[in-house]
Amino acid sequence: MGTMKPKARNLNIELLRCVAILSIALFHTFVPYFNALAYGALSPGINTAMKGSFIALFCMGLINFLGSTGNFIFYMISGFFLIPHAIKDVGRGFWPKQIRSVARRCIVIVGSVIVFAILTVILHFVCRMPSAKLDGIGWLGGDLEFIWLYLLFCVLAPLAALIQSKWPKGWLFLLTVLLVLTFACNAFIAFFSQGGINHALDGWRKIMSAATYFWGFCLAGLAGERGWSKNRKRAKEILLICIISALVSTFVCAAAQSWKMAGELSFKSTSLISFGIAFSLLMLSASSRRKNEEFKAGKAITFFANGILGFYIFQSMLTSFWHLLIFPVINSLSMPGFFPFLALLIFAALLTFIYTLILSALGSWVRRPLLAAGSKLLKS
C-alpha cells in the first residue's frame, strides 16, 4: 500500500496496517448485530435478546469505534507515504513519473478486484458456497466503494502533492478549514440525519464520507512531509484524549442503555474520535522506526500487512458467506451472564482473527505478481 521498498519499511507502520485489518474485520463481523440492536435493522438469524445488556452495548460500541478507526488508518497510511513521495519528484518530468506510478497502483488495485472476483464466482457456482450476491454488478461496484475510493485517492495524490509543495502555508490553512467544516457537517449527519444504515453512492452523506477520508489522506501526507511524527508528546496526548473519550462516552451510553447514541458517536466516517485515534497512532508508529530484522515476527507481519488491499476486496465479496458462518456464534452471545457473554465474544473475535489471517495471506500472495506485472508492463 505504501511506496517504500520492503527493506526500508518501518515495522511499526506494518503493525498498524495489521491493526487496521483486524479492526475492520471485527467491525464487519458484529455490525449486523449492532444495527439490529441499535436501529432495529433485523437480519435473518440475528437474536436481539441482549438489547438490555450493559456489557453487550459497551463492547459493541467500542467495536464500532475500532471499525471507524481502521478505515481512517487505511487511508492515512497511504497518504502519509504517497504524497511526500510524489513531492520529491516535483520539477521536470513530474507528471510522466507520476502517471507511471499511478498506473502501477491502478494495475494492482483493478487486478486484485479481477482475481478475487474470479475466486468468488468459482466459490459461488462451482463450490456452491453462498459467498456474494451475484445477481447484478453491485458486488463489483457499490459494495467495493472503499476500494474505488482508494483508487481515486491514488490518482489524486500527485495533484495533492503539487498543491502542497507550491502552496505550503495556504494548503495547511485550507485543509484545517475544510476539516473543521467537514466534521461540523459530520456531526449533523451522525446525530440528526444518518439517513438509515445504507446510503446511495450519489447521496450527499456518501460524498461527505469520501471527503472526510480524503482530507485525512491529505493531512497524513502533510504530516509525512513536515515530520509531525517527531512530536511524540503531542501524539500521545491526542491518543489519550481520544481513547478516554471513546471509553467514557461508550460507558455512559451503556449505562443509559442508549444504543442509538452509541451508534451516533461512532457512525462510520463521521467519528472525530476515531479520526484522532487513527492520526495519533500513525504519528506514534512513524516516529519510532523498527526494521524487520529487529523483530522475529517482522517478515510475517509485513507479509500479512501487504494483504490489506486483498483483504478489503475479498471480505466484501464474502460477507454473506462469513455472516452465515459467524451468526450462530453471535446469536450465542444472547446467553445470560457476564462471563458467558465475554467468553463467546472472545471466541467470535478469535474466529474473526483466523478468517482475517486467511484473507490477508491471499491478498499478499495476489499482490506480488500484480506488482511485478505492473512494473513489467510499464517498462515495456
Nearest-10 Cα torsion for 163, 167, 172, 177 = -80
Q: Is the pLDDT of residue 263 over 90?
A: no
Picking from 20-29, 108-117, 251-260, 281-290, which range would have the lowest pLDDT averaged per residue? 281-290
Residue 132 or residue 257, greater confidence:
257
Per domain, the residue ranges of the chain are: 6-379
Q: Tell me the mean pLDDT in the region 364-377.
A: 79
What distance lies between CA 210 and its chain's CA centroid? 13
What is the reported pLDDT for 50? 73
The rounded percent of the chain whose pLDDT value lies above 70 is: 86
pLDDT score, position 5: 43
CA dist 49 → 6, 34, 36, 71, 347 (Å): 48, 12, 11, 30, 19
Q: Which residue has the higher pLDDT, 158 or 49?
A: 158
- If pLDDT is split at 50, 70 and 90, which confidence band does 74 have? very high
The pLDDT value recorded for residue 186 is: 87
Identify the pLDDT of residue 4: 39
Highest-scoring range by mean pLDDT, 140-149, 259-268, 325-334, 357-366: 357-366
Q: What is the pLDDT of residues 153-207, one digit of tens each?
A: 999 999 999 999 999 889 999 999 999 999 999 888 878 776 655 555 556 677 8
Q: In whole angstroms, what is the distance from residue 74 CA to residue 60 CA?
A: 21
Is the predicted pLDDT of residue 1 greater than 50, yes or no?
no
Is the predicted pLDDT of residue 290 greater than 50, yes or no? yes
Q: Tell me, what's the pLDDT at 134?
A: 65
How many CA atoms does the CB half-sphere of 263 hold within 13 Å? 23
Q: What percent of the chain has pLDDT over 90?
A: 48
Residue 56 pLDDT exceeds 80 = yes
Rounded mean pLDDT of 354-358?
A: 94
How many whole angstroms separate alpha carbon 198 and alpha carbon 211? 18
> Per-residue pLDDT tens for 107-135?
999 999 999 988 888 887 776 666 556 66
